[in-house]
């Protein structure tokens, strides 16, 4: 029997968090090997398993997978969270790419120079309420179903709910005008696997704090 997937990243959200969410939602237990020092990082790079000298790295099913999207695609396919045909998959990809665009703005926010932070946060809030959340609310309204695509749970629902938690952290009022998204968030959060992941003590990571940010900058030698 294949062992648990092994995730290599620093002990924070970053690009690995969506992978943690998807595995957890699929009910897959995983191990984590945290990169804690510049020496750990150099060692991982020198081991030769990072195709582009970047993490996330996920060891799974005998493969050493890099590139976040490729990893998510593999997990979603393996655990039947990627639609029943190519048309559903196209919709899931389209929705997921939109979510990834907003998520990327949120992921890089901690690295933003202090004098630009306020403007970046304002832009994220504007894009959230004027572009992304209305688009997903409209999808749910258009078919009246419980999930975004194909009336069944897919990665699109998982990624969206992950994103809704981040948006709420930024400003809880951002969700106020999106009743169907709020209902989706509640529904997905109550799935047993997701509920477990949302409990304290799970592998879910908190928002990055000053100390972890400094550690991550040191590891990746970011000025």
Ligand X SMILES: N[C@@H](CCC(=O)N[C@@H](CS)C(=O)NCC(=O)O)C(=O)O
Nearer to ligand X, 96 or 129 (CB): 96
Nearer to ligand X, 148 or 219 (CB): 219
In the region spanning residues 120 to 139, those forming contacts with ligand X, defined by CB under 6 A, are none
Rule CB under 6 A: say whether 60 interacts with ligand X. Answer: no
Q: To the nearest 10°, report the CA torsion of 58, 62, 63, 69.
A: -50
Q: Considering only CA atoms, give the Rg of the chain.
A: 18
Q: CB 67 → ligand X: shortest distance, Å?
A: 5
Rule CB under 6 A: say whether 98 interacts with ligand X. Answer: no
Q: CB 18 → ligand X: shortest distance, Å?
A: 10
Collapse the DSSP code of 164 into the 3-class scheme (helix H, G, I; strand E, B; otherwise coil) and give the result: helix
Nearer to ligand X, 90 or 222 (CB): 222
Residue 148: count of CB within 10 angstroms of its CB: 24
Nearer to ligand X, 42 or 61 (CB): 42
Sign of the CA dihedral with 195 first, then 205, 67, and 166 last = positive
Q: How many residues bind ligand X (CB under 6 A)?
A: 9
Among 5, 12, 14, 98, binds ligand X (CB under 6 A): 14
Angle between helices 179-189 and 133-143 (to 10 degrees): 80
Among 5, 12, 56, 83, binds ligand X (CB under 6 A): 56
Residues near 42 by beta carbon (within 8 Å), at least 6 away in sequence: none
- Residues paired with residue 7 on neighbouring β-strands, in sequence order: 32, 58
Among 6, 11, 32, 67, binds ligand X (CB under 6 A): 67
Rule CB under 6 A: say whether 12 interacts with ligand X. Answer: no
Q: CB 57 → ligand X: shortest distance, Å?
A: 9
- b/e for 84-114, b at 16 or more Cβ within 10 A? eeeebbebbbebbebbbebbebbbebbeeee
The piece of 49-57, 134-142, 157-165, 197-205 that touches ligand X (CB under 6 A) is 49-57
Nearer to ligand X, 38 or 179 (CB): 38
- Judged on CB neighbours under 10 Å (0-12, 13-18, 19+), 205 is middle
Binding site for ligand X (CB under 6 A): 14-15, 53-56, 67-68, 220
């Amino acid at each position: 029997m294949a062992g648990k997937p092994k995730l290599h990243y620093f002990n924070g959200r970053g690009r690995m968090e969506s992978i943690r969410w998807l595995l957890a939602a699929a009910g897959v237990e995983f191990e984590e090997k945290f990169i804690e020092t510049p020496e750990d990082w150099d060692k991982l790079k020198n081991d030769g398993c990072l195709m582009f000298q970047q993490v996330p790295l996920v060891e799974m099913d005998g493969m050493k997978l890099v590139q976040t999207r490729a990893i998510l695609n593999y997990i979603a396919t393996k655990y039947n969270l990627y639609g029943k045909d190519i048309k559903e998959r196209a919709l899931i990809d389209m929705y997921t790419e939109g979510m990834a665009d907003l998520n990327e703005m949120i992921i890089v926010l901690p690295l933003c120079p202090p004098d630009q932070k306020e403007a970046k946060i304002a832009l994220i809030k504007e894009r959230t309420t004027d572009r992304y959340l209305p688009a997903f609310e409209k999808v749910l309204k258009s078919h009246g179903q419980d999930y975004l695509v194909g009336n069944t749970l897919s990665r699109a629902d998982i990624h969206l709910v992950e994103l809704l938690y981040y948006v709420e952290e930024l400003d809880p009022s951002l969700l106020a005008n999106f009743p169907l998204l709020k209902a989706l968030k509640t529904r997905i959060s109550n799935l047993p696997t997701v509920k477990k992941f949302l409990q304290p003590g799970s592998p879910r990571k908190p928002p990055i704090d000053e100390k972890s940010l400094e550690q991550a900058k040191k590891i990746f030698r970011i000025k």
